[in-house]
């Protein structure tokens, strides 16, 4: 049996430099198409938002037209009956505009929040099977940026990219028909300026925004990753004098992000200015075409003010389209980063059929060979052992000898290359990963404790545990007296990753959590490495009774402090 060391880095990143591995890609699928498929369950919400947006701008057009007509008509007549219809129209469109605007904002934002909720759930569901094997090549800050900032970027995609173009198309048709009913050239002139503002200008804006929008998304992700690394590794950075280097790196990325955002803001400003210019030119063009028609008697003079003001009001729908295509670029860049992650094939796939139901909790490895990546040395080479149900086995050896690799394979974090692993007499690959993990309670070298109370961290193993169950588990783990001495007991906050506790207290809390799970298999990976000798002996004595009847796999680099075991395998 030959076992080779393979270092597994559970930290966020190296402190000085990080070399990401290439991410396996899935089949090439258009990002925009995939983003649109994600919104398919909410298509009726989006359609309702489009209709309400059209009704809002349509009411604005109607209000402007009726107001111009009312003012012109009032200048020519003082008869109340002649003005009654126009006055009613102004009141109706004014009230309708306010009501439709409120409804449109309510519906569009409600739809957006529901879409974002769906996206976060979808992303977590897609990422979970990738953990931990496929996620170790990513920095913690980068993952945070993808699941938070990138998904929030898609908020603008759905609220500012999907709805405005559809609403603008309806408004363009509506306004063109109004002016076209007076004269075909008036309608065509307005249509030309609307297409110039709502189609050509956005395309130019998109072309100018494509590179800075994509770069801003990636730069923001890199900045977030650097800041997370800095905050979580601040003690080590200060100890090794690298704090100023990371500070300079964060400042450099922040400056680059600011420059990209300023460039995007300049493009938006230029686009807004040109849109306003085209609006004014459209109004002047319509007025220039309408004056000969009025003087020639083809159009009643009372409608002269109505025509250019109607044209101006219709531009409310097309002016945001330049921003929409800029948001489209940012949304596609964010979506590409999300799909890039979830398209990575999982290291382990569950079988199609149901998991077997074993009657025992034995563990057997037969000639298992495994390497973490092609071209890397073997981490395990023909490792074999048999741990019967209720038995105890110790894997001992120096750091890096492959002990934790055995745990990673049993937990289905990685898939073994050659040989067999049997759990309860059945091939481990025949189990769904969740079903096999339910049979095991694990205390790993790097147990994560959440920034919550002791009670919440214990409930992670068994949410239905009673107070007596908590007390029993903590007594076995030799942490009960410590908890009782705390002012808030189980309700004491322990800080990020349990940093308010000592290393030994964190380990004992992790052991208590494993005991609380009450699984038939107990796996302890260097579970007492941070304990003093007195506490360690007490803990092993308590665990000796607890392990009776359970299958126990104990991983350690020391043999002197092991409890009584049936087998010892030296790696």
* Long-range contacts of residues 246-253, Cβ cutoff 8 Å, at least 24 apart: 250/223, 250/226, 253/219, 253/222, 253/223, 253/226
Output the pLDDT for position 330.
78
Contacts of 488 (CB under 8 A, 6+ apart): 453
Q: How far apart are CA 96 and CA 100, in angstroms?
A: 6
Q: In what order do the strands lie in the sheet with 440-443?
A: 440-443, 521-525, 551-556, 392-396, 567-570
pLDDT of residue 479: 93
What distances in angstroms separate CA 463 from CA 305, 505, 550, one per listed residue?
Answer: 71, 21, 22
Model pLDDT, residue 7: 34
Side-chain-facing half-sphere of 531: CA atoms under 13 Å: 23
Alpha carbon distances (Å) from 60 to 88, 164, 182, 316: 15, 15, 19, 9
What are the sequence ranges of the domains in the chain? 31-342, 363-570
Contact 191, 319 (CB under 8 A): no
Scanning 301-449, the segments in alpha helix (DSSP H) are 306-318, 321-342, 403-410, 433-438
Prediction pTM value: 0.68
Quick check: 542 and 478 in contact, CB under 8 A? yes
Per residue in 267-311, pLDDT (tens digit) is 888 888 888 899 999 999 999 999 998 888 888 888 888 889 989
By C-alpha distance, which of 90, 67, 150 is closest to 332? Answer: 150
Residue numbers in the chain where pLDDT is lower than 50:
1-28
| CATH class for the region spanning 363-570 | alpha beta
- The reported pLDDT for the residue numbered 18 is 31
Q: Give the span between the Cα atoms of 345 and 475, in whole angstroms.
A: 43
Number of Cβ within 10 Å of residue 22's Cβ equals 6
CATH of domain 31-342: 1.20.1560.10
Token pair, residue 305, equals 């003010």
Within 8 A by CB and 6+ apart from 415, the residues are 347, 348, 409, 429
């Amino acid at each position: 049996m030959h076992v080779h060391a393979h270092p597994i880095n559970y930290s966020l990143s190296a402190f000085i430099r990080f070399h990401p591995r290439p991410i396996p890609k899935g089949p090439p699928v258009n990002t925009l198409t995939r983003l649109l498929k994600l919104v398919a369950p909410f298509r009726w919400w989006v359609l309702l938002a489009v209709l309400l947006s059209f009704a809002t701008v349509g009411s604005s057009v109607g209000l402007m037209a009726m107001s111009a007509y009312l003012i012109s008509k009032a200048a020519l007549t003082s008869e109340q009956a002649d003005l009654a219809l126009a006055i009613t129209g102004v009141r109706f469109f004014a009230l309708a505009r306010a009501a439709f605007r409120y409804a449109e904002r309510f519906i569009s934002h409600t739809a957006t929040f529901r879409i974002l909720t769906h996206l976060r759930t979808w992303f977590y569901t897609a990422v979970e099977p990738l953990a931990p094997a496929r996620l170790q090549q990513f920095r913690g800050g980068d993952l945070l940026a993808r699941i938070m900032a990138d998904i929030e970027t898609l908020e603008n995609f759905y609220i500012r990219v999907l709805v405005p173009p559809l609403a603008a198309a309806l408004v363009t048709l509506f306004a063109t028909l109004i002016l076209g009913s007076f004269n075909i050239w008036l309608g065509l002139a307005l249509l030309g300026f609307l297409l110039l503002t709502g189609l050509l200008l956005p395309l130019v804006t998109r072309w100018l925004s494509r590179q800075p929008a994509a770069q801003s998304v990636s730069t923001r992700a890199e900045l977030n990753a650097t800041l997370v690394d800095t905050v979580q590794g601040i003690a080590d950075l200060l100890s090794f004098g690298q704090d100023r280097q990371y500070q300079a790196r964060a400042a450099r990325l922040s400056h680059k992000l600011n420059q990209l955002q300023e460039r995007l803001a300049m493009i938006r400003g230029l686009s807004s200015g040109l849109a306003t210019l085209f609006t004014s030119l459209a109004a002047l063009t319509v007025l220039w075409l309408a004056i000969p028609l009025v003087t020639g008697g083809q159009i009643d003079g009372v409608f002269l003010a109505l025509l250019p003001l109607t044209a101006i009001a219709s531009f409310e729908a097309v002016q945001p389209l330049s921003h929409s295509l800029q948001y489209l670029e940012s949304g596609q860049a964010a979506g590409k980063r999300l799909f890039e992650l979830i398209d990575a094939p999982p290291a382990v796939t569950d079988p199609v059929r149901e998991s077997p139901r074993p009657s025992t909790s034995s563990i057997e490895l037969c000639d298992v060979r495994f390497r973490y990546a092609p071209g890397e040395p073997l981490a395990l080479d023909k490792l074999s052992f048999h741990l019967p149900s209720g038995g105890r086995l110790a894997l001992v050896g120096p750091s890096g000898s492959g002990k934790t690799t055995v745990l990673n394979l049993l937990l289905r974090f990685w898939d073994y290359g050659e040989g067999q692993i049997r759990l309860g007499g059945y091939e481990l690959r025949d189990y769904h990963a969740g079903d096999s993990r339910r049979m095991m309670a694990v205390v790993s070298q790097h147990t994560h404790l959440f920034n919550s109370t002791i009670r919440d961290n214990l409930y992670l193993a068994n949410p239905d545990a009673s107070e007596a169950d908590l007390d029993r588990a903590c007594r076995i783990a030799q942490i009960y007296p410590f908890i009782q001495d705390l002012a808030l007991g189980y309700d004491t906050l322990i800080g990020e990753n349990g940093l308010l506790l000592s290393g030994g207290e964190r380990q004992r809390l992790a052991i208590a959590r494993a005991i609380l799970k009450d699984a038939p298999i107990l796996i302890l990976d260097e579970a007492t490495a941070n304990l003093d000798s007195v506490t360690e002996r007490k803990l092993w004595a308590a665990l000796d009774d607890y392990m009776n009847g359970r299958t126990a796999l104990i991983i350690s680099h020391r043999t002197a402090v092991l409890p009584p075991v049936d087998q010892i395998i030296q790696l």
